[in-house]
Every structure is written in C-alpha cells, then in structure tokens.
Copies of this chain bind each other. A is one copy, B any other.
C-alpha cells in the first residue's frame, strides 16, 4: 500500500524524534486521510481536578511505545489505511461556548472530508461537539460511554456545558439514538436516586464496574454488541472508567473501577460494530505516575483506531 506509516523504529529509536501519536505522520505530511487522531487540549469544563489540557501531549509521548501490528485483533491498522496525527485543535481556554463551537466546526470539516476521528481530550465537555459532528454526518448515533460517572447531569453553577453534562445535552439535541445508549463501568456515589431515574428515562442502559467483575468481559461485550446492532456507533472513553490504580492521572477518580485489561478486552469485543467516531478523555498527566494513565489511554486510542481501520478494510 502507498500510505505512510509510523517512523521506522530501526532507523530512529522510539524515544527519539518529534512526538506524534504512534509515531504516525502529521496531517500536513499526507494528502488523503482515512483516520485522524485529534488532540483536544481543553479542561475549562472540569468540576474538580483540572489538568486534562495536557492530556494530548502526554498521550502522544506515551504512544511512542505502540507498534503497528495488533495481535488480539489480528490487524495492521496503519497498513492500507492512512492514519495521521492531526495535532491539537486551538480552543479558547476561557470560554466554554466558544471552545465547543470551534471543535464542532473542526470536527464537521473532518467528517465532510471523509476522515474518521479518534479524539484525545481534554475533559469530557468535548464529547458534545464531537457527537454533534458525528450526527451531522451519520444521523443520531448509538453511544457506548465508558466512565465511572453518568455525565448526564443538567447544569453546574448554572453552566449547561461542562464535563458532567455532555450526554444529557446530546440527548436533548437529538444527536443520540436513544435506542442504543449504554454506560459501562459506572460506580461510586451519586447526588440522588433521581440521577439514575433521569438517566434511564433518557434511554441509557448501565453496565456497572461490578457487573463487569461478575459477568466477565465476553458476556458484557456480547450484550453491548446486541444492543448496538448495526447502528452507527460512537464510543466515548473517560479514562476514569479505570480504577485509580490503573488511571491515577485523571480528574474525578472513584475507587472500585475496571482494570485496563477488562477495558481493552471489551473494546476488542466491539469488532463487527459500525464505529463512526470515538474519543478518549480526562487524562490529566500531572496526576499520573510513570505514564501509566497515558499508556492506558494510548492503548485505548490504538484499539479504537484499529477497530476503525478493520472496519474500513471490510474486517
């Protein structure tokens, strides 16, 4: 194939060279792009620990360790598919509304050119404009939302657009297919039982972190695939879906989470669905240690890219 792949490790050691996701080419180095990894350095929407603005840079550095063949999915995602690092989007760090608009516009431009996005956040606020852009192209999309939290709160300090509210807004705006919505990995205390009731009313199913322990990754993946069917699917992964042991570098950690092995296995179990876009958010590297959160996030992004590439290859 004639696409450009990652920098050859036998020519430049993995610890050397400008950091791009998985050592892939920058978007300006190629003409046609199938899949773009897009950095979204934004954290004005957080309610507790900030720092996710440095998430894209950290994931890029951690992704130096990725290699081009995915044995679990038996796929070479950079082979025959042009994957690039699209760099970071320039968002206003002081104005959530303006920032969301910029991202939506940019994401729609990628969609218009036929490029699929795996966005690396940034806080979870960014899922809303990304879902809007996905729906602009594909109509209302199915959603798998991996997260410790529901993120379907209404407002916080009067602000409707924060990292705790994107999916309620998305339902209200009609960009989600309410027949095929599911949270995975939920745990921890809530403000009240009404949180659950309202979430359910919006159409969300819930597979808690404890459900994953009890049912196992294969049964969970089977159930998720059944719920989604062949709908266009958006996957949003808040890295806090992992236990703080596996992802200390995040903003609102909750004990009792999933392991990175479980998360990756469930994602791989989504092969066969029709993925149209994805994000990995809430990596706050200043709280990380030895890059364990960034490495987990880079593997998640890599798996999402691989699912998109397989799909494109008819896989």
Q: Report the Cα distance A118→B286, complex, angstroms.
A: 29
Q: Which one of A85-93, A103-111, A127-135, A168-176 is at the interface?
A: A85-93
A188 within 8 A of B: yes
A-side interface mostly: loop
Min CB distance, A169 to chain B, in Å? 15
Q: Are A291 and B65 in contact (CB under 8 A)?
A: no
Q: Report the Cα distance A69→B187, complex, angstroms.
A: 11
A288 within 8 A of B: yes
Min CB distance, A148 to chain B, in Å? 10
A302 within 8 A of B: yes
Query: Which of B53, B189, B217, B243 contacts A71 (CB under 8 A)?
Result: B189
A61 within 8 A of B: yes
Min CB distance, A188 to chain B, in Å? 7
Q: Are A41 and B15 in contact (CB under 8 A)?
A: yes
Q: Are A289 and B286 in contact (CB under 8 A)?
A: no
Q: Which one of A138-146, A191-199, A224-232 is at the interface?
A: A191-199
Q: Are A290 and B249 in contact (CB under 8 A)?
A: yes
Contact flag A209-B261 (CB < 8 Å), given A41-B13, A243-B245: yes
Q: Are A44 and B41 in contact (CB under 8 A)?
A: no
Render A40-63 as a binary contact track against B, CB cut-off 8 A, 1 for contact.
010111011111011011000100
